Structure 1
Amino acid sequence: MNTLTIKECTDMTVKTPAQHFLQSRFWAEFKKEQGWSYQQYEVHAAGTRSFLLTVLLRQLSPFGFLAYIPMGPSILTDYNSQLPETAEKRKLFLVNLAEKLVPLLPTYVFLIRFDPPWECVIRSGNTQAFSRQDFPLIPCTGGRTPCSLRKAASDIQPPDTVLLDLGQPLDALLAQCKPKWRYNIRLAEKKGVQVRCFPGSQAEDVIPIFYRLYRETAARDGIAIHSENYYHSLCRLAVDPAFDTERILISIYIAYFEEKPLAAIITLFSPSGAVYLYGASSNEHRNLMPAYLLQWQAIQDAQKYGCPSYDFYGIPPTDDSHHPMYGLYRFKTGFGGTIIHRVGTLDIPVRGFRYRLYSCAEQLRAFWFKNLKKKLRVHSRKS
């Protein structure tokens, strides 16, 4: 594992398929439109396969550059997470990888942040004492830049999710759903809810419909959302012929009742899997259960597209009725599938002082959005 070589990949025609859409060139170009830049590297590690690594870069004044690697590196995924030596091997690999990356990145990189696709063990089912597999500090050795590995204060990508295996018959997938979920799917159909799919080039045309529902959802649930242009950019870029080899399909599904949009979702299909990216719903006719029929239609289409799995992309870590997102947990787990727990976001500070300053700013921002801003919204609605 110590023999690791990295070289920058300048050939944009490289056909190596991404193991996750967040490591695809499509996603990197999409983030570029949102103010990021990116570099891609060919990584060769002794004793394992070579892989392509996409590193997203964001200049954050006055700290410097943040290097972010979502759902990478795409190796060491099949190790037994129950074994202590698995965490040790993964930690040492990340430290080694970071040391090799530093000389290739912009001069003022202050942090390399990983979101690996590695599953982990949950130590406690009680959310009051919830903790993931430990990733204690490890000093880098042999490199010119001192750094250490630590768990980030908060996660960027959702570390907990539900994954449906689509390599089984459709009736088996339906049988996996909880009885109430099957009932709700049939109820929506019986009551006349119709689901329409707008794939590829058609998706951008219905962004205004999706976004109206999304704003309604955000106001109801007190969540922050991107601008409408963000979703236009996502749909527009997905049909660019430059990314044809990655076979990424963005679709918008809208549930209608008497020609009135009730709910909508945005999905991403690729050879590595299907992902439920965004969901929105109206406050009206919620008793018609449109969200259940939307998901069921998307699951069927993902299977037809050849996706090996359907990722609901984010749930609370445990079945805790007191969790503010408990409703989301119940909804997504009700379709069956396997609950996955990943290690979450891991940081390797490159410039310690700048990293500490940034961490303080990041925690203050998180506190503002997760606590104060939400309380202010609730107060304004009551008054």
Structure 2
Amino acid sequence: MSALLVTGDRDQDAGVRSLGIPEYRSFLARRGDASFLQYPAWADVKDQWFAERVGWSLDNDELAGVAQVLYRQFPGTRKYFAYLPEGPVADWADPGIDRWLGPLLRHLRRAGAFAVRIGPGPAYRRWDAARLKAATGAGRRIGDVLATEVDPLGSAVAERLRARGWKRCGGDEGDADAQPRYVFRLPLGGRTTDELWRGLNQEWRRNVRTARKAGVRVLAGGPEDLPEFYRLLGITEKRDGFRLGRSLAYYRRQYEALNAEQPGRMRLYLAVHQGELLAAHTMITAGKRVWYQTGASADHRREVRPSNALQWQMIQDAHALGAEVYDMRGVPSTLDPRDRPFGLLRWKLGTGGQVVETLGEWETSMGGTANNTLYRAFQAYLARR
């Protein structure tokens, strides 16, 4: 991609420039709170996208923010859709957002982008598990419940983006977001493992004990175990009525790329009972955060609770790594127990964490008749998918 981009070019307003990987990684290491999607290895996972890493300075030559930009070429043109998944990594509390956002957009436009999608970091609202459990009912949704906390920074960032013509993807539910709008997070910072154990609800503690008593063993897997993980994932998709649409090659590429960047960045956990693999979950670590990414399990012997055993081990390992947050990724917005997806939310609520509504993803066209036309065509293409 680098041959197609304006690289090494410095914007006079905010010093926006392409970064080499060492300099980019150094900034992420100092921050510690960036999403794994903003790490260089993630670009190696996305085989149909080209990547560029950029950064900017404000009042001096020291980097003030960075972003990994993924570019997808629009067929038949030399134009690109620019995607910054869960980025840029910036000081969103700075009211002078135009000091870097405007120059960033100009840089992307020079690179050939006809539209840009970003995923700002601040949260919007949070709900404690107990509040949502008490609010379940027919036709209820998370957004119907008074939030435990509304993040003023998230609200301010949303208003600033709207004022500059950005549009929130997928409306209130985030149906068009590539990353989940509602996520489940378990705070780890400042807590002991005993406190985390007591934070689990009674059913979760009972299930972990059941797994232990039944002899479920939690083992570390390797790349040779990915085919079995993928087989179980197919069973899970069919049982739970969803389709991720990813291939075994995708997970192999992910495992190789993330662990090449840093050993142990992606881990595969296996739950084995009487010599048989019953469940397998993947975990990703970056900075002070840990993510439970994908879970898979068999249809039989569910009574020995292999997934609860896996998750409790993963939570303990995340805590031992010094992570401040264990992010269990997406949850559905329904609070109706009759809805099939509600089971996933109910299961995660049992850990005692919080549902967090992120700001979601935001898009803008680069303007001009040609770019606006391409943007509308691209939106129509995504809608057909």
TM-score, length basis structure 2: 0.78
Partner secondary structure for residue 333 of structure 2 = coil
Q: Which residue does 2:248 correspond to in 1?
A: 228
User: Secondary structure of the residue that 2:348 maps to in structure 1?
Assistant: helix
- Regions of 4+ moved over 4 Å: 45-49, 104-107, 128-140
Give the secondary-structure state (helix, strand or coil) at the position aligned to 1:239: helix
Deviations 1:20-71 (A, max 9, x none): 211111212322xx22111111123469971221111111325731101111
Could you tell me which residue of structure 2 aligns to residue 59 of structure 1? 73
Q: How does 1:3-152 map to 2 (within 5 A)?
A: 5-14=14-23, 15-17=26-28, 19-31=34-46, 34-45=47-58, 50-62=64-76, 64-76=79-91, 93=97, 97-98=101-102, 100-105=104-109, 107-121=111-125, 126-127=140-141, 138=162, 148-152=165-169
Three-state SS of the structure 2 residue aligned to 1:313 is strand
Aligned-pair identity in percent equals 27
User: How far apart are 1:169 and its partner, in Å?
Assistant: 0.5
SS of equivalent to 2:360: coil
C-alpha contact (below 8 Å) 1:21/1:272 kept by paired residues: no
- Give the match for residue 205 of structure 1: 224
Considering only aligned residues, what root-mean-square deviation do their CA atoms show, in Å?
3.0
The Cα shift of 1:361 comes to 2.3
Label 1:281 to 1:4 Cα distance change in 2 as closer, same or farther (>3 A): farther
The whole-number CA distance in structure 1 between the counterparts of 2:177 and 2:323 is 26
Residue type of the partner of 1:157?
Answer: Q
Match for residue 157 of structure 1? Answer: 179
State the shift of 1:318 in Å.
5.2
Distance, in Å, in 2 between the alignment partners of 1:97 and 1:196 is 45
SS in 2 for 1:363: helix
Offset at residue 359 of structure 1 (A): 1.5
Alpha-carbon separation, structure 2, partners of 1:122 and 1:309: 14
**1:111 is matched by which residue type in structure 2?**
A
Equivalent in the alignment of 1:178: 201
Distance 1:332 1:108, change over 3 A: same
Check conservation: 2:240, 2:340, Cα contact below 8 A.
no
* Distance (Å, rounded) in 2 between the aligned partners of 1:121 and 1:195: 34
Q: Distance in 2 between matches of 1:264 and 1:105?
A: 42
Letter in 1 for 2:381: A
Q: 1:359 aligns with which of 379, 382, 385?
A: 379
Matching of residue 317 in structure 1 with residue 300 in structure 2: no
Stretch deviating more after TM superposition (247-256 or 187-196):
247-256
Q: Which SS does the other structure have where 1:5 is aligned? A: coil
Name 1:379's counterpart in structure 2. none
Task: Tell me, in whole angstroms, the C-alpha distance in 2 between the residues paired with 1:226 and 1:274.
Answer: 22
1:344 corresponds in structure 2 to 360
Deviations 1:255-311 (A, max 9, x none): 111111111101012223110011101111111111111000111111122222110
| Contact 2:66 2:90 (8 Å CA) reproduced | no
Task: Give the Cα–Cα distance (whole angstroms) in 2 for the partners of residues 161 and 128 of structure 1.
Answer: 12
Inter-partner Cα distance in structure 2 for 1:323 and 1:106: 46
Alpha-carbon separation, structure 2, partners of 1:251 and 1:281: 16
**Which stretch has the larger CA shift, 19-28 or 98-107?**
98-107
Provide structure 2 residue ranges, at least 5 long, that are not aligned to the other structure: 1-11, 128-134, 146-153, 171-175
Say if 1:110 and 1:43 are closer, same or farther in 2 by CA, change over 3 A: same
Partners of 2:193 and 2:351 in 1: CA distance: 13
Partners of 1:212 and 1:250 in 2: CA distance: 19
Conservation of the 8 A alpha-carbon contact between 2:126 and 2:355: no
Which of 267, 279, 282 is equivalent to 2:298? 282
The 1:262–1:58 alpha-carbon spacing in structure 2 relative to 1, beyond 3 Å, is same
Deviation readout 1:308-345 (Å, 9 max, x if unpaired): 21100111235333444111101111111222111111
Equivalent residues, number: 335
Q: Residue 265 of structure 1 contacts residue 277 of structure 1 at CA under 8 Å; is this kept in 2? A: yes
Query: Which of 160-169 and 284-293 deviates more?
Result: 160-169
- The alpha carbon displacement at 1:220 in A equals 2.2
**Contact 1:248/1:270 (<8 A) preserved:** no
Paired residues of 2:19 and 2:55 also in contact (CA < 8 A): no
